[in-house]
Amino acid sequence: MDAGMTGVDRSADELLSDAMAVATDRDGLLELLKTSRKALAREPSMVALPARRLLVVGDLHGHLGAASWAVRELLARTDCHLVALGDYVDRGDEQLPTLALMLGLRLAESGRVTLLRGNHETPRMNDGYGFARAVLEAHGQEALDACHAAFAELPIAAHRQDGLLCLHGGIPGGARTVGDIGRLPKGGREPTDADVIEVLWNDPEERHGGFEPNLDRGIGMTFGQDATREFMARSGLWLLVRAHQPSPEGAVRFHGGRGLSLFSHPNYHGMANEGAVALVGMDRSVETLRVMPAGRGD
């Protein structure tokens, strides 16, 4: 192994071993969360992305193998900026190491990593889907509070000037343009702003029309093709990239190709789905890559 290992591999390995160590070290974890919270607090609700090729990562949900694969891809592609669309925790087997890896990556590669908030970066979801229990059992209430303080500072959207918008769920009914999303708050520990909740929760639906209650989830809205087309035209967008829903190949276009849904956790809940990330060039090229966690059958 060592003979074939490059410098790039080694630094990805170092980030991974740091993350695994910090996940079992309460003081180290508290320090990482505090440093991350302060760094994230300097970012606005909507991040202005650089005019560079993007590596966009969808839901990870505690899949450390998928997260480490994405880290390796970023470090091997020096022209890329990584945007992760949220849902780092809940449900998976390795939630704390996955969160620690993504936060550690953001600090180590600051300036070329943007972490967005998903609907699972909230206390209420963490209570119901496993993250709160995992953190409380390992490290206690102070550590869980520190996670939630950091989550509250995550930006909710990212915009690249040539016309690309990234967010976790979807466009909200209360926003006519990208500028309106930029004026939303980050949402606090438990978001109560209706448009912030919609950014984190909404799903596209292959129908005409606008916004309707999201009956499948019981929260947020669904948005139809007309909502997407009109919002994007008003905002000068050519692509909307969101996450939040698994698909067989991990990446699927919607609304006539205007939208792209990404999900990066392979074999989610035994669904036998693939995980995917996307490379989005400044030339409007969109390439999806299959997530290939090392040493795993899924």
In whole angstroms, the minimum distance from the beta carbon of 30 to Mn ion comes to 26
Count of other CB atoms within 10 angstroms of residue 36: 25
Out of 119, 202, 261, 264, the only residue in the binding site for Mn ion (CB under 5 A) is 119
Alpha-carbon torsion, ordered 41, 42, 44, 45, to 10 deg: -20
Give whichever of 139 and 242 is closer to Mn ion, judged by the CB atom: 242
For residue 91, the 8-state DSSP code is S
Q: Quick one: 11 or 245, whose CB is closer to Mn ion?
A: 245
Catalytic residue among 61, 63, 81, 120: 120
Stretch that binds Mn ion, among 67-75, 112-120, 259-267, 283-291 (CB under 5 A): 112-120
Number of other CB atoms surrounding residue 185 within 10 Å: 12
The region of 61-69, 91-99, 119-127, 158-166 touching Mn ion under the rule CB under 5 A is 119-127
Task: Tell me if residue 120 is catalytic.
Answer: yes
Beta strands in the chain, from DSSP E residues, in sequence order: 46-49, 53-57, 80-84, 113-115, 157-160, 164-167, 203-204, 211-213, 221-223, 239-242, 251-254, 259-262, 276-280, 286-290
Instruction: Report the C-alpha gap between 49 and 209 in whole angstroms.
Output: 30
Closest approach, Cβ 70 to Mn ion, in A, equals 17
Residues 80 to 99 in contact with Mn ion, rule: CB under 5 A: 87
Residue 236 CB, nearest distance to Mn ion (Å)? 27
Rounded to 10 degrees, the C-alpha dihedral 162/102/155/237 comes to 20
Q: Is 202 among the residues that bind Mn ion (CB under 5 A)? A: no
Nearest distance from C-beta of residue 129 to Mn ion, angstroms: 10
Residues with catalytic function: 120
Residues found near Mn ion in the complex (CB under 5 A): 87, 118-119, 244
